[in-house]
Amino acid sequence: MTQFTYGIIHQVVEDNRIIALKYRKRITYYYFPRGMFASFTDYFRCGIYLFLRVQMKSRLYRGRRVFNVIHIEKIMDSGRRYPHVFYDISTIKSGIIGVINTKKPRLFIDFEMSMPPYRHYEDFISEIIQAGMILTDSEGNIIEQHAMYIRPEFFPKLTDRTSKFLRITQADLDQGISYVEFYSLLRRLYQEYQPMIIVWGRNDTLELSKLNRLHHLRDLTKKMQFIDLLKLHKTYYGLKNDLGLFHAYCLYSGEELLDQRHDAFQDADTTRKVFHWFKETANSERVMTIGDHDA
């Protein structure tokens, strides 16, 4: 359970990541996670107002009774006639809502990559060997969908680790398309529809950019509008840790996804469904709880 609190910064204990807030002559101590403290440390000085979401129960930490901070709602300068807002999650959420409601087609993408062998992997280069893509219009209607294997070219032989993890065979890859053919398909979808590209995490975008360079192809990622749905979830819900795609699916749907495979098309389709539920939540069409935060 969490609660909302606010006050003016009275003291900052940097070594312990503790901030004391003063409200109506009462001093209360708050403990910040490492990443959160580092991200906002430039604003942590006396005289600044903090608005926080914290855990209900306090705990003893290094001789002080502290409340664990879940996330920061707002940071504001109190020393002016017209206070300056440095950070406001409500404004950021409004921006997120604007992005997900954009009237553009959406291309949901997921890749599976080759994995190094168990031994002698020093020179190994991971390659995209499976792709799933689902193109929808702005209302969510499917326009095109593609599932394919892509033949690796730098290390064409499938490693035992990759085969075991993805449950695929060398024959699956040998029957796949070339990376250039995949690139041409992706370029055609981008040029024809100009979609937002929805991914879960940054890894797929980084791998796509890397393979374009290695194949001496123009890097389409520099022009495409990529939306990291994992990052939107972390920001919107104030999550400290990454949220798994299938965990997000279970939270939204209320049911366990039993047929969980390491399959690019399945992951792209799951990303599409999670995006739809997230959009409904952000638009107040459904109520969702992730972590300790209600949306």
Do 238 and 140 share a structural domain? yes
- pLDDT of 260 reads 65
Would you say residue 93 lies in a domain?
no
Q: Is 168 left (phi over 0), alpha (psi -120 to 50) or beta?
A: beta
In the chain, the number of structural domains is 2
Q: Do 133 and 167 sit in the same domain of this protein? A: yes
Claim to verify: residue 106 and residue 64 sit in the same structural domain: no
Amino acid at 68: N
What is the dihedral sign for C-alpha 138, 144, 147, 150?
negative
User: Residue 278's domain is classified under what CATH number?
Assistant: 3.30.420.10
Domain range enclosing 177: 98-294
Beta sheet of 106-113, edge-to-edge order: 142-149, 128-136, 106-113, 196-199, 225-228
Centre a 10 Å sphere on the Cβ of residue 218 and count the other Cβ atoms it contains: 11
Q: What is the CATH number of the domain that holds 36?
A: 2.40.50.140
Distance between CA atoms of 151 and 28, rounded to whole angstroms?
60
Asked if residue 91 belongs to a domain, the reply is: no
The reply to whether 257 falls in a domain is yes
Give the domain-ending residue among 83, 111, 139.
83
Asked which of 83, 111, 131 is the last residue of a domain, the reply is 83
Residue 25, number of CB atoms within 10 A of its CB: 5
Residue 89 lies in a domain: no
**Given 32, 49, 83, which residue is the final one in a domain?**
83
For residues 146 and 36, membership in a common domain is answered with: no
Task: Identify whether 92 is part of a domain.
Answer: no
176 shares its domain with 261 = yes
Residues 67 and 185 in one domain: no
**Which distant-in-sequence residues (6+ apart) come within 8 Å of 32 by Cβ?**
17, 18, 19, 69
- The DSSP symbol for 83 reads P
- The H or E element that residue 142 is part of is strand 142-149
H or E element in which residue 112 lies: strand 106-113
- CA-CA distance, 252 to 246, in Å (whole number)? 10
Same domain, 70 and 156: no
Q: What is the pTM of this model?
A: 0.84
Strand ranges inside 14-101, DSSP E: 18-23, 26-31, 48-55, 59-61, 64-77, 85-88
The reply to whether 88 falls in a domain is no
Residues 110 and 233 in one domain: yes
Same domain, 219 and 112: yes
Asked if 104 and 30 sit in the same domain, the reply is: no
pLDDT per residue as tens, the chain (295 positions): 789 999 999 999 999 999 999 999 999 999 999 989 998 999 999 999 999 999 999 999 999 999 999 889 999 997 667 788 999 999 999 999 999 999 999 999 999 999 999 887 889 999 999 999 999 999 999 999 999 999 999 999 999 999 999 999 999 999 999 999 999 999 999 999 999 999 999 999 999 999 999 999 999 999 999 999 999 999 998 887 889 999 999 999 988 766 667 899 999 999 999 999 999 999 988 887 675 444 4
Sign of the torsion angle spanned by Cα atoms 270, 271, 274, 279: negative
Per the domain annotation, does 90 fall within a domain? no
